[in-house]
Chain A
Amino acid sequence: MFRNVAELIEQAKADSISISEVMIRQEMDVHQRSREEVMGQMERNLVIMEEAVERGLQGVTSHSGLTGNDAVLLQKYMEKGNTLSGHLLLDAVSKAVATNEVNAAMGMICATPTAGSAGCVPGALFAVKERLQPTREQMIRFLFTAGAFGFVVANNASISGAEGGCQAEVGSAAAMASAAVVEMAGGTPEQSSEAFAITLKNMLGLVCDPVAGLVEVPCVKRNAAGASNAIVSADMALAGITSRIPCDEVIGAMYRIGRSMPSSLRETAEGGLAATPTGRRLAEMINGITKEKE
Chain B
Amino acid sequence: MKYQSVFDIIGPVMVGPSSSHTAGAARIGRAARLIFGKEPTWAAVHLYGSFAKTYRGHGTDLAIVGGLLGYDTDDDRIRFALETAKKKNMKIEFIEDTAATEHPNTARVKLGTDDSSMELVGVSIGGGKVEITELNGFELRMSGNKPAILIMHNDRFGAIASVTQILAMHEINIAHMEVSRKDVGKDALMVIETDQNVEDNVMKDLEQASHINRVSRLMS
Contacts and interface: CB of A to CB of B under 8 A. Distances in A.
A158 interface: yes
Contact of A114 (B20, B74, B78): B20
B9 A215 contact: no
B125 interface: yes
B53 A160 contact: no
Contacts of A45: 7, 10-11, 13
A267 B104 contact: yes
Contact of B53 (A102, A103, A116, A213): A213
B11 A103 contact: no
A213 B6 contact: no
Contact of B14 (A3, A64, A108, A162): A108
Contacts of A151: 3, 6, 8-9
Nearest to A1: B1
B9 A105 contact: no
Nearest to B60: A213
B59 interface: yes
Interface residues of A, number: 63
Interface residues of B, number: 45
A108 B76 contact: yes
B102 to A, nearest CB: 11
Interface string A94-127: 0000000011111111111111101001000000
B74 A215 contact: no
B49 A115 contact: no
A159 B15 contact: no
B137 interface: no
Nearest to A2: B1
Contacts, number: 181
B5 to A, nearest CB: 6
B58 interface: yes
Contact of B16 (A26, A104, A212, A268): A104
Nearest to B7: A41
B182 to A, nearest CB: 30
B147 interface: no
Nearest to B79: A106
B15 A107 contact: yes
Nearest to B195: A32
A70 interface: no
A44 to B, nearest CB: 7
B147 to A, nearest CB: 12
B144 to A, nearest CB: 16
A263 B19 contact: no
A151 B78 CA distance: 28
B136 interface: no
B14 A268 contact: no
A115 B17 contact: yes
A215 B17 contact: yes
A11 B172 CA distance: 31
Given A106-B15, A115-B19, A214-B58, A263 B104 contact: yes
Contacts of B20: 114, 160-162
A48 B15 CA distance: 11
A110 B11 contact: yes
A147 B10 contact: yes
Given A108-B76, A268-B49, A210 B10 contact: no
B16 A109 contact: yes
A115 B104 contact: no
A3 B1 contact: yes
26 contacts: A27-B6, A42-B7, A44-B13, A104-B16, A106-B17, A107-B16, A108-B13, A108-B76, A109-B16, A111-B14, A112-B9, A113-B126, A114-B19, A114-B20, A150-B9, A150-B10, A160-B124, A162-B104, A163-B104, A163-B125, A168-B126, A210-B57, A213-B54, A213-B57, A267-B53, A268-B104
Interface of B: 1-20, 22-23, 49-50, 53-59, 74, 76, 78-79, 103-105, 124-129, 195
A-B complex: 3 closest residue pairs judged by Cβ atoms: A213-B54, A160-B126, A103-B16
